């Protein structure tokens, strides 16, 4: 599907997933690279957004730097999937929600301004559904930057985020971060518009985004693509069970493996969910995904590790994270 898109649209989505030009007129800078003009770049991005191929032009924020987040799971009876998914999706802090092939079948990412608000959110979901919610907090990231080349052979993860310096985040940065996770306005001077909305000058907005990217608080700044909408429809979360002393080496090997697009360690729930190591595979067919998995399972660092494959079958919700509490 991606290969059949307009060549300029393909370049916009493939080449600008990171390193958005931090200049007053970023779309004009992109236009110069593409050999077109600013108005056309903006119009194309607006169309790609309307078609659901692009989530936003903005940024992804490293988990647990500007707020608190977790991956959660619920084992939902088939007859209640629609009802429970609606309850989960109604929470503003739930930014991703997927149905996956497993008894623990509804998976979602929840983000809140702080840990107390996050705990309250998970508690509300448990109370309203009457079902147990597994809280699988991030322990160690190996690759948390879902940006990979879509053209050519694809599947190669882009460079992962550098080490984080959370102290670089200032309290006054939070409205800027929220604007970046919601999406920059698709206008000639988006940083100026963001500054007007957040009480900063254009220069300050650009400088703070650059500082937060350099500090690793922002994992990337650019075009955020909806992969399923452009042909990467066979996506699997693969979880691995192995001893604690082998997890780091295995995680680093998985993160380097061609076709693995995310990799991290999370807390377990002993006796219920005993899989500490997670990896994501984004592919264009199930056979392609299973081929990538076969190569990953053959890595020496994964020798003897049991794994479970959870293909995503439906996306209920996908949006930027909630990092700032709504105004009263």
- Give, in order, the Cα–Cα distances in Å from 262 to each of 37, 160, 254: 34, 9, 9
The pLDDT tens digits for 83-98 are: 999 999 999 999 999 9
pLDDT number for residue 325: 58
The first and second tokens of residue 191, run together, are 């940083």
pLDDT at residue 234 greater than cutoff 70:
yes
Confidence category of residue 52, pLDDT binned at 50, 70, 90: very high
Instruction: Answer whether residue 39 shows pLDDT above 50.
Output: yes
Question: Residue 153 — pLDDT band, cuts 50, 70, 90?
Answer: very low
Other Cβ atoms within 10 Å of 20 Cβ, number: 23
What structural domains and CATH numbers belong to the chain?
Answer: 2-59+155-227 (1.10.10.2890)
10, two tokens: 């393909």
What per-residue confidence (pLDDT) applies to 158?
Answer: 46
Cα separations (Å) of 291 from 121, 140, 202, 238, 296?
Answer: 38, 26, 47, 13, 9
Quote the pLDDT of residue 143: 87
- What is the model's pLDDT at position 115? 93
What average pLDDT does the segment 290-312 reach? 96
- Find out whether 19 and 147 touch, Cβ atoms under 8 Å: no
pLDDT for 150 equals 75
The tokens describing 218, both together, are 């922002």
How would residue 154 be classed by pLDDT, with cut points 50, 70 and 90? very low
- What are residue 260's DSSP bridge partners? 281
Question: The whole model's pTM is what?
Answer: 0.86
| Res. 300 pLDDT band, cuts 50 70 90 | very high
**Residue 142 · residue 255 · CB < 8 Å:** yes
What's the CA gap between 16 and 235, in Å, rounded?
A: 22
Three-state SS at 100: strand
* 173/270 Cα distance (integer angstroms): 38
Given the structure tokens 């990896």, which residue do they identify?
A: 279
CA 110 from centroid of its chain's CA atoms: 12
Confidence of residue 162 (pLDDT cuts 50, 70, 90): low
Q: Which two tokens stand for residue 75?
A: 């084992």
How crowded is residue 32: how many other Cβ atoms within 10 Å of its Cβ? 12
Predicted confidence at residue 307, as pLDDT, reads 97
Within a 10 A sphere around the Cβ of 86, how many other Cβ atoms? 12
């Amino acid at each position: 599907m991606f290969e059949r898109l307009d060549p300029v649209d393909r370049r916009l989505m493939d080449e600008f997933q990171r390193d958005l030009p931090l200049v007053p007129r970023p779309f004009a800078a992109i236009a110069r690279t593409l050999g077109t003009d600013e108005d056309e770049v903006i119009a194309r991005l607006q169309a790609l957004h309307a078609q659901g191929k692009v989530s936003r032009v903005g940024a992804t924020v490293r988990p647990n730097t500007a707020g608190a987040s977790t991956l959660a799971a619920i084992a939902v009876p088939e007859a209640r999937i629609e009802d429970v998914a609606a309850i989960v999706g109604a929470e503003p802090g739930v930014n991703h929600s997927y149905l996956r092939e497993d008894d623990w079948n509804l998976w979602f990412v929840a983000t809140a301004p702080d840990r107390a608000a996050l705990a309250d959110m998970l508690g509300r979901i448990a109370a309203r559904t009457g079902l147990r919610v597994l809280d699988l907090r991030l322990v160690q990231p190996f690759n948390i930057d879902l940006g990979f080349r879509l053209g050519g052979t694809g599947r190669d993860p882009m460079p992962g985020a550098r080490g984080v310096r959370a102290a670089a985040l200032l309290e006054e940065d939070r409205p800027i971060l929220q604007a970046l996770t919601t999406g920059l306005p698709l206008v000639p001077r988006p940083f100026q518009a963001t500054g007007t909305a957040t009480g900063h000058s254009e220069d300050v907005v650009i400088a703070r985004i650059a500082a937060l990217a350099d500090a690793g608080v922002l994992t990337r700044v650019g075009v955020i693509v909806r992969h399923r909408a452009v042909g990467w429809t066979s996506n699997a979360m693969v979880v691995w069970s192995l001893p604690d002393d082998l997890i780091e080496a295995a995680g680093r090997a998985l993160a380097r493996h061609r076709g693995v697009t995310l990799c991290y360690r999370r807390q377990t729930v002993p006796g219920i969910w005993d899989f500490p190591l997670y990896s994501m595979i984004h592919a264009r067919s199930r056979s392609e995904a299973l081929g990538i998995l076969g190569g990953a399972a053959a890595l020496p660092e994964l020798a003897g590790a049991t794994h479970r494959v959870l293909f995503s079958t439906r996306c209920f919700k996908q949006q930027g994270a909630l990092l700032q509490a709504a105004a009263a």
